[in-house]
Amino acid sequence: MNDRPAQPPFVPDLLRSAEAALQAGRHDEARALFGQLAAAAPADPRPALGLVRALIARGEPAAAIERISASQHLVQRAPVEWDAQLGHALYRLGRHGEAESAFLRVLRVAPEHRMARLQMFRLLRHNERYEEAMALLEPAPSEAMTDFAAYLVVSKLDLLLDLWRIEEARILHNAAVERAATTSALNQLFASAAPTHGDDAPQAHTRMLKRLSEVPDGISAERRLLTARLRLALGDRSEFIAVAQSLLDAGEGGVLRPHLRAARDTLSGTAEASLRRERVFVIGLSRTGTSSLHQALTELGYCSAHWANPITNGILSIEDMALFDAVSDAPVADAVEELADRYPSARFILSERPVDLWQRSIEAHYRRRHGAPDVATLRRLLETHAQMPGGIRWRRVHEGLYTQHTDFAAAHAAHQARVARCFADAPARLLRFDVTAGDGWEKLCGFLQRPRPNTAFPHLNAG
């Protein structure tokens, strides 16, 4: 017997539209639709719960908690889901003790609840309770390596790499690949292959290609996409071009479609054509607004990559930088002279930030990610570990930009001087850009000679 309350006939269609908007990141639209539905069907918990999720997604956790308090007549009908969202909102507000209590209530009743497990993991990790965090993500020995189980493994791998437990991470990744039951699971694990295996990534990619041939879930767009990514990672250009072309012809490739097209065009074209292509290199240090500029360049129509090749997920190399219209972050900054010489018609953007603000941000970043709050500690990590996340490329970038200097402030000054020397004879090729000082579309579009978008300039990864 269906005991769901009667509802207006338009509710199911609007629910689907609201959910689609939320999943697509259109949070304002999702909030409006769920709010309309909650008013039209006040006895149905789904719109009210959707509204809570939309509020959290929009960065309004306090409003989400108020909505939960106002919906107590609905909470008892699905207490697990409401507690999960309550925990999420409390966590976003920094009320970690209350959030942990809410997540524990969920996990006692539904130990496999996906969102609660992941949010509890993030809470434990944030509070440096690393072993508890990893135990929470431990799959049962007999558990099939489905896409969600693989996602949990990837989260654990990320933490192991931050803790520099590289060999442990490699063993875990190899075992997960062998147990992968679906293409989707392998796709999840692919994202961690290059960071985990570093210089040995080709062997890991070869194992993944073999396992992909054994997974019995048929030919699909996802399988073709993973094949293309593995082929490029292995340097098999002709196979990559062929598979990428089939994806593009079929209208497939998802968010990687522009990158597949750009890589295909570069690899199948002439070196001369590649050198003539319009290119933008963002050569600021990490934590200077490089993420915001990456997003801005994407919105301006450039095929942009940030820190890693989005197809292979390996740290950007000089060869990777040739594939795309725009690239940014530390690997690009460390290659400034070579790029300026190789691409004489390219434009360069030095993202900047006041040195005191930058130093606080970069110290917090390395403290949080690697337990290294200063250059000396970062240098010791490089000196005492033969293996590292991302392999020799990670080492070279950090030695080139940071660890050869006494502290982060000295590294910042050295990079400023390095860029000034590089463009002393060609100042028109360089734009200095400070997001924190209010630089935005007008300055960027004037330099690039592109029309200004009718949207707010992006401000990402602030801190």
pLDDT in tens, 266-322: 999 887 777 778 999 999 999 999 999 999 999 999 999 999 999 999 999 999 999
pLDDT at 139 over 70: no
359-370 pLDDT, tens digit per residue, is: 999 999 999 888
Q: What would the mean pLDDT of 323-351 be, rounded to a whole number?
A: 97
pLDDT tens per residue across span 35-65:
999 998 888 899 999 999 999 999 999 999 9
The arithmetic mean of pLDDT across residues 194-203, rounded, is 96
**Cα–Cα dist 398/408, whole Å:** 11
CB atoms within 10 A of CB 26: 16
The residue-averaged pLDDT of 240-244 equals 97
Q: What is the pLDDT of residue 143?
A: 63
Give the chain's domains with CATH numbers. Answer: 221-269 (no CATH), 277-463 (3.40.50.300)
Considering only CA atoms, which of 302, 372, 295, 290 is closest in space to residue 331? Answer: 290
Of the pLDDT bands very low, low, confident and very high (cuts 50, 70, 90), residue 9 is low
pTM attached to this predicted model: 0.84
User: Which pLDDT value is given to residue 252?
Assistant: 95
143-152, 197-206, 212-221, 400-409: segment of lowest average pLDDT = 143-152
Alpha helices in 251-349 (DSSP H): 257-268, 271-276, 290-299, 318-321, 330-333, 336-342
Kindly tell me if the per-residue pLDDT of 7 is higher than 80: no
SS (H, E, C) 382-447: HHHCCCCCCCHHHHHHHHHHHHCCCCHHHHHHHHHHHHHHHCCCCHHHEEEECHHHCCCHHHHHHH
Share of the chain above pLDDT 70, in %: 96
Mean pLDDT of 135-161: 82
Q: Which residue has the higher pLDDT, 45 or 204?
A: 204
Distances (CA, A) of 316 to 194, 237, 289: 11, 17, 18
